[in-house]
């Protein structure tokens, strides 16, 4: 190895392609998508419904069949047979739009969190309890929340629990799919602030998917615009929103700026 080692991006997606078979031929949901996210930064993908942005995230996690290369710190996330490597299940974590749909309503929050650590391979009960307490406090929740059921929490609190669950295994990358879209504006502001603090303190890398241009502009360092499965434009937040090059991006920006 030479001294001039180049640092690999935290997440590199190269020529990603997802096809869904259909009756009249297959449908290409993600078409030759490539981008790289530097460590500790936030990369946003904006697009309208059906543009392929959520499918891109699912493909990165190996939840849908895809072709192309996905690498974390220069290492492919897939092993032979294109199965996600077990270590990647810790490295990359996902936060959903509505965490409530992914929290079992009949189990206490503490049990739900403990279970996801056991599934990820953690055996020690003490480690699990300590880690859960640390994380739940870190997202700004009281420790007695752990004894309650998901139904006892507001949308913003549930999203904090969703973020806590994602943080349990000390991931490097969070894949955030519309994490604040279902929240009231005042709660959205709190969750966005929390995400920024966590990134700064833990050095996390974010892939942030949203249809909300203003939120993406606020939070993201770099932004890609997705339309019909392809990335039509990519650049820094300033470049894309202040000087959009593509017609579609200009149309998107204009539709929120006339407000």
Partner 1 sequence: MIESLSEQLLRVRDLRIWLNTVDGPVEVVKGISLDVLAGECVALVGESGSGKSITARSLLGLLPRENSSVEGEITLRGGPENVVTATEAQLRKMRGRAVSMVSQDPMTSLDPVARIQRQLRDTIRLREPRLSGEQVRQRALDMLREVGISDPERVLVAWPQQLSGGLRQRVTIALALVAQPALLIADEPTTALDVTVQAQVLRMLTRLRSELGMGLLIITHDMSVVRSVADRVAVMSHGEIVEFGEARQVLDSPQHPYTRGLVASTVTMSTVRDRPLRTVASFVEDTAAAEDGAIR
Q: Check residue 214 for interaction with partner 1 (CB under 8 A).
A: yes
Residue 129 vs 199, nearer CB to partner 1:
199
The reply on whether position 93 binds partner 1 by CB under 8 A is: no
Give the total of residues touching partner 1 (CB under 8 A). 32
In sequence order, what DSSP letters do the residues of the chain get, joined into one string? --S-PPPPPSEEEEEEEEEE--TTS-EEEEEEEEEEE-TT-EEEEE--TTSSHHHHHHHHTTSS--EEEEEETTEESEETTTEEPHHHHHHEEEE-S-GGGGS-TTS-HHHHHHHHHHHTT---HHHHHHHHHHHHHHTT--GGGGGS-GGGS-HHHHHHHHHHHHHTT--SEEEEESTTTTS-HHHHHHHHHHHHHHHHHHT-EEEEEES-HHHHHHH-SEEEEEETTEEEEEEEHHHHHHS--SHHHHHHHHHHHT-
The stretch near partner 1 (CB under 8 A) out of 89-97, 105-113, 161-169, 249-257 is 249-257
Minimum distance between the CB of residue 190 and partner 1, rounded to whole angstroms? 5
Candidate ranges 20-28, 59-67, 167-175, 211-219; the one touching partner 1 (CB under 8 A): 211-219
Q: How many Cβ atoms sit within 10 Å of the Cβ of residue 228?
A: 14
Q: Judged by CB under 8 A, does residue 160 bind partner 1?
A: no
Contact 187, 156 (CB under 8 A): yes
Q: Taking CB under 8 A as the rule, which mask of x and - marks residues 14-53 in contact with partner 1?
A: ----------------------------------xx----
* Chain residues 95-114 in contact with partner 1, contact rule CB under 8 A: none
Told to check if 210 binds partner 1 by CB under 8 A, we report no
Residue 246 touching partner 1 (CB under 8 A): no
The C-alpha angle with vertex 13 and arms to 210 and 1, in degrees rounded to 5, equals: 140
Which residue in the set 192, 199, 202, 235 belongs to the binding site for partner 1 (CB under 8 A)? 192
Q: Residue 17 in contact with residue 5, Cβ under 8 Å?
A: no
Taking the least distance from each CB to partner 1, the nearer of 28 and 192 is 192
- Of 101, 130, 170, 193, the residue at the interface with partner 1 (CB under 8 A) is 193
Selected from 196, 199, 202, 235, the binder of partner 1 by CB under 8 A is 196
Residue from 74, 137, 218, 247 in contact with partner 1 (CB under 8 A): 218
Strand-pair category, 230-236 with 205-210 = unpaired
Task: Compute the least distance from the CB of residue 185 to partner 1, in Å.
Answer: 5
Per CB under 8 A, 144 contacts partner 1: no
Provide the binding-site residues for partner 1, judged by CB under 8 A: 48-49, 155, 184-190, 192-193, 196, 211-215, 217-219, 237, 241, 251-259
């Amino acid at each position: 190895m030479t001294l001039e080692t180049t640092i690999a991006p935290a997440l590199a997606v190269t020529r990603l392609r997802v096809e869904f078979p259909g009756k009249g031929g297959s449908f290409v949901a993600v078409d030759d998508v490539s981008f790289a996210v530097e460590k500790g930064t936030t990369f946003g993908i904006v697009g309208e419904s059906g543009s392929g942005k959520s499918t891109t995230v699912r493909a990165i996690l190996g939840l849908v069949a895809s072709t192309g290369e996905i690498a974390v710190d220069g290492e492919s996330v897939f092993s032979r047979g294109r199965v996600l490597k077990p270590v990647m299940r810790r490295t990359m974590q996902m936060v959903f739009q509505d965490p409530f749909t992914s929290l079992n309503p009949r189990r206490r929050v503490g049990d739900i969190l403990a279970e996801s650590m056991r599934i990820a391979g953690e055996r020690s009960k003490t480690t699990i309890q300590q880690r859960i307490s640390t994380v739940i406090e870190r997202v700004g929740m009281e420790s007695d929340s752990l004894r309650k059921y998901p139904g006892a929490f507001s949308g913003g609190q549930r999203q904090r629990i969703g973020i806590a669950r994602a943080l349990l295994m000390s991931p490097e990358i969070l894949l955030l799919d519309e994490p604040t879209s279902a929240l009231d504006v005042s709660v959205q502001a709190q969750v966005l602030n929390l995400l920024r603090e966590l990134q700064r303190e833990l050095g996390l890398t974010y892939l942030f998917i949203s249809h909300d241009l203003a939120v993406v502009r606020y939070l993201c360092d770099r932004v890609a615009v997705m339309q019909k499965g392809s990335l039509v434009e990519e650049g820094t937040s300033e470049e894309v929103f202040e000087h959009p090059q593509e017609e579609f991006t200009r149309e998107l920006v204009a539709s929120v700026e006339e407000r």
